[in-house]
Structure 1
Amino acid sequence: MNTSANSRRRFLCNLLSGAAALAIAPSLLHSETALAGDPVEFARGLHEHPWLAGWRSVGAESLGPTPIELEGRLPTGFAGTLYRNGPAWTERAGFRYEHWFDGDGMVHGWRFGEGRVTHRARMVATPKFTRERKAGRFLYPTAGTTVPETQAVRNNDDANTANTSVMTIGGRLFALCEAGSAFELDPDQLNTLGPVTWRPDLASLPFSAHPLVDRDGSVWNFGSVALMGGAGLLIWHIGADGKLISADIIETPVRGYLHSFAMTDQHLVCTLIPFAFAEGQGAFFRRLRFQDQQALRVGVIAKHTPTVARWFETEFAAIYHFGDAYERKGEIVMRAVQHPDIEEARSPMQEAMKGQAGAHGGQGRLRELRLDLRGGTARWEETGFDGIEFPLFDPRTRGDRPAVLYAPTNEGEASAPYFNAVASLDVRRGERQVHRYGRDILAEEHVFVPRPGSSRAGDGWLVGTLLDSARGRSGIAVLDAERVGEGPLAQAWLPYSFPLGFHGHFAVG
């Protein structure tokens, strides 16, 4: 092993050592006095505002399997499973989490085949969830709610909620959050198999909820050391076979928050939102204060040397999610959704978690960040599109041109302060197509599914989940990605509903 590799291994060893105490007492998991919502108040609000079903707590550990008939017809070649994940268990023993990010994860599988769809869902049986189920109350610290009388955690996975996203690698299914290990699930029954340790010395380290799949099928991801009280990024590279290729630490110039990242064919792009902690104790997001008077730091990491980043500075932006990124003539162009209200970004849909009707909790404006690799400068440009979140795109798009983005948005009257439509956005042409589901429909992220046998970017479908608050049912829709404005090709509704989730992944076949 060369000197550089030895240095990186020593850095990891120090990171895991008791001297730093990072894995033992991560800052994300500090907690003292109880500051939480009231289940009775939430139930009262739900009675008055049925759309709050998107933020209620489930009361069962599993749902289905439930076969349901499709309205319309599935397109030829559309077959597979849409996996979705999100916080679902938010109340125990008269105590309700106040932050949307805190609930224990429930993974859903929507399986399509032979003109039908079957829904199944199951709670991720993390150590946190199973121990709290046995105790009948919440025991461990969370990211956004200060829980009373918490038990000590030995590492990040003691408090891992596995509640944000899902991915498949080589037929294996993983539930993800941003502060701990990936948890492997059975892809058919959704039973929890346990946390994944890619290498023994990397056990329990952060493996974020937004991995990106490269053109060779390998997976890039990051882990934020800032969530453990320090500074730095752990850059993961997992092969298409599910085996670890590399794990490298990049030291960062400042402590910053990042939830996801972007990728070109040659580079990874990470943005550090500057933050500081308010005085006193409490949960991570209760103490976190974004520093909008400071610059946004942007790290560009070459894939062939994922041990060092080149850092750029630009104006502050509060970003959770990115669209595509491409590279041409010495410039990286990356699209991101910026939240203008930094307090709302710190605790999205806070009023809804308390059972209150409030302002829209997810609207952001789509901006382009241009990074001049030759001149070393960075600047933001407006796209003219706003009122969106959770943007996705066809990853087959050429690496030197922009992709069409697909995102939930708002169109016309809505009963809920949430998205009620889905849009395709062609920034280069300034074109927007939109399908409005209806006044009482809450629309979630729509995943792009390529048409089998086609390599043309944009040739495929969107599949997205819905909540019909007026009829108390959850559903799913399939649209032609190139004709979004024409509405669903097929749609299906369950006889029950469940809380809104965050992110999904479509596994073909």
Structure 2
Amino acid sequence: MDRRRFLRNLLSGATVAALGPTLLHGSDALAGDPAEFAAGLRERPYLAGWRQVSAEAFGPTTVQLEGRLPADFAGTLYRNGPAWFERDGFRYEHWFDGDGMVHGWRFGGGTVTHRGRMVQTPKFQRERRAGRFNTPAAGTTIPEPAAIRNNDDASTANTSVVIIGGRLFALSEAGSAFELDPDQLDTIGPMTWRPNLQALPFSAHPLRDRDGSWWNFGSLSMMGGAGLLLWHIGADATLRGAHVLETDAPGYLHAFVQTDQHLVFLLTPFDYTPGGAFFESMRFAPQRACTAVVVDKAAPDRIARRFEVDFTIAYHFGDAFERNGEIVVRTMRHADVSEARSPHRAAMLGHEGAAAPADLAELRLDMRSGGARWAKTGIGGVEFPMLDPRAPSDRSARLYMPTNAGDASAPYFNAVQMVDLATGRHALHRYGRDILAEEHVFVPRPGSSRPDDGWLVGTLFDHARDRSGIAVLDAQHVDDGPLATTWLPYAFPLGFHGHFAQAAA
């Protein structure tokens, strides 16, 4: 099927049954060894951050807070990440392959109640019954995989989580959002926004617009095509629109960014030679330029402008703003091409490996001249940027990111910092030598419209005591450390992304 026909037929539903996603094709098995990982874990306790969970469910467990929260801080932090890595003597070697576990950390009355549940995807249930991995994975080739019908049959639902219209969704890259009960975290099932959109990609990084609606994309590179499926979801979780945007060639992207007027997508070129799972078969192509695609929100059915810019690999974005005809995008740039293709591969195998965080860079797109260029910020050793969504649209926002600071016993983040590029101000809190710090979500103060008036809430892993925890900091005074922390009597693996749902006033 040629590319134009692929795109023309996509929204009619004609392509879904005929074309399985690229990441679902595999051949010879290449996997990690659980015994090798266990041996590495005995020597390097921090590897528990990539250890399989001990159960399919945790909690509800209520623990007392150390410190004190403001009276108006209330709600639930939902988190998602890969947690099931091993079956029948076979261990995934790629971090992205683990089946997803969603966590809910509910704050109230001076306590935190934690609950964690494996997302009961068709894949997870089928493999539990079989007692082995039998579904094609994104980064590890599986021997004798079972036949599957579509993306949702292979989904791990392991990357992010979001509340839209009061409904909780677990998200990954290649298939549908999976709806969960927001209280018990029980899995309801894949979300079909419209019958002819069943099982099409709905990525892990939707963006909330100022009117309360949500934008998202699906990468057609995951289905053997080229282009983007652009989603627009209302604040009430109903579909506003779905459009196919044609790009010149396949490009990898994990997230995107928005201004008040535009959406910006950065496609990283890659070559694909079938010979295993998707990430085993693809190679990023640094000899070619990236393509930046800009879409006007008022005309989401077409691309407003395309740019070519020097090659980079960017999984995550910070803020974006527009001024004098220029769009400025803050992104995390990865210099190590191999590490970017399989992050923390050494840890997944039970080996010691160096940390490979990203640098914060600016992508400048001139909408009048068509010029595009990168600019360095001098900020390195960071990832997972977050910001206050109330930030002004015509200037840079403060970014909040985990980072590395001082002595550390693990090749992972051990601190959180605030960076304000407009003023040059930095603030940092270091959790400690043995604490692994994850993404810190920004929570606006209720009733306030002042940017950056609010809190950061982030999850932690103490590998020396084998426990998981959570901390809340004042976003205006990050360097003062947490207002409150708490630790659970158990631990679970490091996750990826979260969403804070504030309690109703």
Interval of TM-score (by shorter of Structure 1 and Structure 2): over 0.9
Aligned positions of 1:120-135 closer than 5 A: 120-135=115-130
Report what 2:248 is aligned to.
Answer: 253
Query: How many Å separate the matches in 1 of 2:275 and 2:58?
Result: 38
Equivalent residues of 2:7, 2:246 under 8 A apart: no
Report what 1:486 is aligned to.
Answer: 480
Aligned positions of 1:85-124 closer than 5 A: 85-124=80-119
The code of the aligned residue for 1:398 comes to P
Query: How many Å separate the matches in 2 of 1:223 and 1:300?
Result: 15
The code of the aligned residue for 1:275 comes to F
Report what 1:16 is aligned to.
Answer: 15
Please, which moves more after superposition, 301-310 or 168-177? 301-310
Equivalent residues of 2:16, 2:200 under 8 A apart: no
1:231 match: secondary structure:
coil
2:498 match: secondary structure:
strand
* 1:451-489 C-alpha deviation (Å, 9 max, x unpaired): 011000000000000000000100000000010001000
Aligned positions of 1:470-481 closer than 5 A: 470-481=464-475
Deviation at 1:283, TM superposition (A): 0.3
Matched, 1:425 2:424: no
Deviation at 1:10, TM superposition (A): 4.4
Report what 1:365 is aligned to.
Answer: 359
Query: How many Å separate the matches in 1 of 2:202 and 2:61?
Result: 32
1:245 match: secondary structure:
strand
Query: How many Å separate the matches in 2 of 1:15 and 1:373?
Result: 36
Alpha carbons of structure 1 residues 156 and 11: separation in structure 2 relative to 1, 3 Å? closer
Equivalent residues of 2:233, 2:240 under 8 A apart: yes
Query: How many Å separate the matches in 1 of 2:481 and 2:16?
Result: 55
The code of the aligned residue for 2:30 comes to L
The code of the aligned residue for 1:57 comes to Q
Matched, 1:302 2:296: yes
Query: How many Å separate the matches in 2 of 1:247 and 1:384?
Result: 39
Query: How many Å separate the matches in 2 of 1:8 and 1:40?
Result: 46
Gaps of 5+ in 2: 1-5
The code of the aligned residue for 2:86 comes to E
Report what 2:498 is aligned to.
Answer: 504
Equivalent residues of 2:291, 2:308 under 8 A apart: yes
The code of the aligned residue for 2:428 comes to V
* 1:50-85 C-alpha deviation (Å, 9 max, x unpaired): 110100111311000000011100112100000000
Report what 1:77 is aligned to.
Answer: 72
Report what 2:402 is aligned to.
Answer: 408
Report what 1:171 is aligned to.
Answer: 166
Equivalent residues of 1:331, 1:370 under 8 A apart: yes
Equivalent residues of 2:10, 2:16 under 8 A apart: no
Equivalent residues of 1:8, 1:248 under 8 A apart: no
1:320 match: secondary structure:
coil
Report what 2:223 is aligned to.
Answer: 228
* 1:163-207 C-alpha deviation (Å, 9 max, x unpaired): 000000111000000100000000000000000000000000000
Query: How many Å separate the matches in 1 of 2:169 and 2:13?
Result: 28
Equivalent residues of 1:473, 1:493 under 8 A apart: yes
Query: How many Å separate the matches in 2 of 1:409 and 1:281?
Result: 36
2:400 match: secondary structure:
strand
Query: How many Å separate the matches in 2 of 1:354 and 1:176?
Result: 25
Query: How many Å separate the matches in 2 of 1:65 and 1:449?
Result: 23
Deviation at 1:15, TM superposition (A): 5.5
Query: How many Å separate the matches in 2 of 1:30 and 1:78?
Result: 47
1:256 match: secondary structure:
coil
* 1:421-473 C-alpha deviation (Å, 9 max, x unpaired): 00001011222111000000000000000001100000000000000000010
Equivalent residues of 2:79, 2:161 under 8 A apart: yes
Report what 1:180 is aligned to.
Answer: 175
2:40 match: secondary structure:
helix
Matched, 1:377 2:371: yes
2:36 match: secondary structure:
helix
Report what 1:4 is aligned to.
Answer: none
2:492 match: secondary structure:
coil
Aligned positions of 1:175-214 closer than 5 A: 175-214=170-209
| Aligned-CA RMSD value | 1.3
Equivalent residues of 1:336, 1:366 under 8 A apart: yes
Deviation at 1:499, TM superposition (A): 0.1
Aligned positions of 1:314-325 closer than 5 A: 314-325=309-320
Query: How many Å separate the matches in 1 of 2:14 and 2:85?
Result: 32
Query: How many Å separate the matches in 2 of 1:312 and 1:219?
Result: 25
Equivalent residues of 1:269, 1:299 under 8 A apart: yes
Query: How many Å separate the matches in 2 of 1:75 and 1:298?
Result: 42
Equivalent residues of 2:13, 2:196 under 8 A apart: no
